[in-house]
Structure 1
Amino acid sequence: MKIATLLVSSLIVGLLTTAATPQDERSRAEAAFAAARAVSPTPLRLDQDRRSWLQERAFEGAVVAEVDDLQAEHWIASAARDARTRALAVRTTSLPDACVDIGLSNCSTATGGYLNIDGRRLSWQLQNGVTPEDGTAAGYVLLTGDDRLRAEVWGHAGIRYEPPTVMRVEGQTYVAIPGRIAGTGAYNADALFRVTPGADPLLTEIDNETWRDADLPALLPTGLEIWKGVAFNYDDESLTARTSLWTSRDGNCCPSGGQATLVFEIRGGRLVLTELLKDATP
């Protein structure tokens, strides 16, 4: 990973030059994406960003060169930030008072601690701060090591995070960090990682977003929808979530379609929605 970080740093320098044509802008954005993905602890989330970028540039009336330029700048900044975080050596004694540098400015650490996973210690820290893209934000970071710690995974996609929790599903260990995105939708910013003892990396991201598009439409009762984030239960081996259900006549505030339990499985690297169990009474 040190070699990858050096290569990304060199590539970032080249990407900072201004592109001359719309095609150059797209190539620059694609190269910036590849650089960001190479050092990101959450590459699947970046894949979602890329899909959103391609959809945005396909909109009628979109100024494609501007869309590509803005996205390239975002990924260039992301690559530089994550490469810097990967290179950190963090002292254990600094965790209670000082933020690990994951890209939040005006940062304060809300809380922290450690998890014992199969005899291995995994330290964690939650943060509050500011990002240029989103303004007020929250963040998390999980670290391995004894005195000198190395950041394993981190992120700041949400406005609020809760302490990480360990769960075991079908004999496999996972770490989940519940989170919420800003806005009335209170959409999920949860992060989910598989733990593989003895491997490098120790933590591998699980795709916990695409179930909404890939699995949910076929399971929703006719006339009902899910408009907001769901409440995952990470406390036992039955991975479920609770949600309200909306009809087309409802306001955003006031769902009238009752409640439901969502049942998930983890298949490969993806969270798969297998059942939607609507409560018997609204």
Structure 2
Amino acid sequence: MKRSALLLAATLPLFAVATHAAESVDLGDIATTCLESPLDNCTVHTAGFLNVADFGEVDGSPFIAWQTQFGSTDLDGVIGGFVLFEHTPEGWSVLSKGFDGFFEPPSLNDDNLLHIAGYGQGTGAFNTDRLFQRGDAGWQAIEMDQWFTDVVPMLPAGLGIWKGVDYDFSNPYAGYVANTGLWRDDDANCCATGGSAVITLSIRDNALAVEGVRYTPPAKSK
């Protein structure tokens, strides 16, 4: 199934960063007990803390905490989730959370860009990633979906992105990229035969934007 048929299947209200006064959360059991979760039979998959020199506490204590979770809902069956916590003068509070995929531990780069890689159910493994950047006004959610539409005319004719991509936001100095296979119109959903692409991305107006596409054709058969 082509990605365009399912694009933006989950534009979630939980994608936005909380802007209201948040209630303090006790993280004493963060390693063992699911926090702020609607999941049934919830278990903690990973949990931990991140620190940033520029924004962390004066004594070097952690600045961001997280949980990734496994569980289920009546609607989705087996599903995962994440919860991000931010340390404020009032204590720990929820920064963002979502329960629409399976998530990896977050990563934080030198440009204060916080990325949680995630993928959805099914063979498409569509992205459920979240991306946030901190500036003078605090954390801002970065929109991650529009670029999939914008990149279409930049791809070789007859090729498309049908599944989730692999983002790399680790190095702001080298640039941000999305790596993906490319599908021909007559490909089976399982198997991309149109080569691959490295898509260069930037952040403009709090959204990912396409800067360029580097295309690698498929290997020639001997």
TM range (shorter): 0.7 to 0.9
The answer to whether structure 1 residue 189 and structure 2 residue 125 are counterparts is no
Measure how far apart 1:130 and its partner are.
Answer: 1.5
Query: Whole-Å Cα distance in 2 between the matches of residues 88 and 221 of structure 1?
Result: 50
Structure with bigger helix share is 1
2:142 aligned residue (201, 206, 214) = 206
Amino acid at match of 1:113: G
The answer to whether structure 1 residue 266 and structure 2 residue 203 are counterparts is yes
Measure how far apart 1:104 and its partner are.
Answer: 1.7
1:180 aligned residue (104, 119, 132) = 119
C-alpha distance after superposition, 1:146-178 (max 9, x if no partner): 7942111111121x111100124xxx4210000
Query: Whole-Å Cα distance in 1 between the matches of residues 37 and 132 of structure 2?
Result: 18
Query: Whole-Å Cα distance in 2 between the matches of residues 177 and 107 of structure 1?
Result: 19
Measure how far apart 1:132 and its partner are.
Answer: 3.3
Structure with bigger strand share is 2
Query: Whole-Å Cα distance in 2 between the matches of residues 107 and 88 of structure 1?
Result: 22
Measure how far apart 1:135 and its partner are.
Answer: 2.0
Measure how far apart 1:105 and its partner are.
Answer: 2.1
2:168 aligned residue (233, 252, 263) = 233
Query: Whole-Å Cα distance in 2 between the matches of residues 278 and 178 of structure 1?
Result: 23
1:155 corresponds to: 98
1:276 corresponds to: 213
Q: Indicate the SS of the match to 2:37.
A: coil
Query: Whole-Å Cα distance in 1 between the matches of residues 169 and 99 of structure 2?
Result: 20
2:35 corresponds to: 100
| Structure 1 segments unaligned to the other structure (5+ residues) | 1-36, 45-81
2:158 corresponds to: 223
Amino acid at match of 2:121: A
Contact kept? 2:72, 2:78, Cα under 8 Å:
yes
Contact kept? 2:36, 2:83, Cα under 8 Å:
no
Q: TM-score, normalised on structure 2?
A: 0.81
Contact kept? 1:92, 1:148, Cα under 8 Å:
no
1:25 corresponds to: none
1:247 aligned residue (178, 184, 194) = 184
Query: Whole-Å Cα distance in 1 between the matches of residues 170 and 80 of structure 2?
Result: 23
Query: Whole-Å Cα distance in 2 between the matches of residues 257 and 132 of structure 1?
Result: 38
Contact kept? 2:64, 2:86, Cα under 8 Å:
yes
Amino acid at match of 2:32: D
Contact kept? 1:263, 1:274, Cα under 8 Å:
yes
The RMSD of aligned alpha carbons is 2.5
Aligned residues: 198
How is 1:97-136 mapped onto 2 (pairs within 5 angstroms)?
97-117=32-52, 118-120=54-56, 121-136=63-78
Measure how far apart 1:87 and its partner are.
Answer: 5.5
Higher relative CO (CA 8 A, sep ≥ 6), structure 1 or 2? Answer: 2
1:55 corresponds to: none
| Structure 2 segments unaligned to the other structure (5+ residues) | 1-11, 57-62
Rg larger for: 1
Query: Whole-Å Cα distance in 1 between the matches of residues 178 and 212 of structure 2?
Result: 11
Query: Whole-Å Cα distance in 1 between the matches of residues 36 and 16 of structure 2?
Result: 19
Contact kept? 2:202, 2:208, Cα under 8 Å:
yes
